[in-house]
Chains A and B, each alone.
Chain A
Amino acid sequence: DQQVKQNSPSLSVQEGRISILNCDYTNSMFDYFLWYKKYPAEGPTFLISISSIKDKNEDGRFTVFLNKSAKHLSLHIVPSQPGDSAVYFCAARTEGEKLVFGKGTKLTVNP
């Protein structure tokens, strides 16, 4: 059973607008959540993380929000740029220090 769920396989936004990528999880013991970005034929690269004791973390154009009661997190990208077009993976760290990933959301930013 998948513990980290990204229910939207794809998202398309206009350049300059906000991109919102969503992620739900089932395991309340996750202590950190991470977002990775992946281009085709490359390994994923780390974007931003958030501790389970926080509700927001910001880094430049990227902000991650965590709603523990809803077991939901989201990544906001403002403003979106064409270079942001990639697959975004949500991940969570388990109490055993493993990293589990969602299925990914393909973001397309149109010029």
Chain B
Amino acid sequence: DVKVTQSSRYLVKRTGEKVFLECVQDMDHENMFWYRQDPGLGLRLIYFSYDVKMKEKGDIPEGYSVSREKKERFSLILESASTNQTSMYLCASRRGGYTEAFFGQGTRLTVV
């Protein structure tokens, strides 16, 4: 079974803090994704990585950056957290060229 693990289920951070959300997959997948889910807005793509050190902006990259130094790990960085980044963050991975992506359990981030 594919396993996508996000480092925290719940996080509370203060405004202005630098926040790291970590995601690890164990299936040697090339593609990895970060989404955020908000009520009424669905899943919106923040960043996509198609291989190690390769990344593309999604629909809402502002205020975020990513790092993919190793194939199994994809990190989402909030450079200076703001209250409008309070959300559910979902990481996914997928074998390159395939369709189905596998999701982690999500991280509920609250910025106060």
Range, interface on chain B: 20 to 34
Contact among A42, A44, A93, A96 for B99, CB-based, below 8 A: A93
Using a Cβ–Cβ cut-off of 8 Å, how many residues does chain A contribute to the interface with B?
24
Q: Interface of chain B, helix or strand or loop or mixed?
A: strand
By a CB distance below 8 angstroms, the chain A residues around B92 are 43, 99
Nearest CB to that of B38 among chain A residues?
A: A103
Task: Determine the distance from Cα of A98 to Cα of B31 in the docked complex, in whole angstroms.
Answer: 9
Task: Output the least CB separation between A102 and chain B (Å).
Answer: 6
A104–B42 contact, CB under 8 A? yes
B58–A103 contact, CB under 8 A? no
B100–A44 contact, CB under 8 A? no
With contacts A32-B99, A49-B100 taken as known, whether A44 is within 8 angstroms of B50 at the C-beta atoms is no
By a CB distance below 8 angstroms, the chain B residues around A102 are 42
By a CB distance below 8 angstroms, the chain B residues around A32 are 99
Task: Determine the distance from Cα of A99 to Cα of B100 in the docked complex, in whole angstroms.
Answer: 9
Top 5 closest A-B pairs, CB basis? Answer: A43-B103, A103-B42, A101-B43, A32-B99, A46-B100
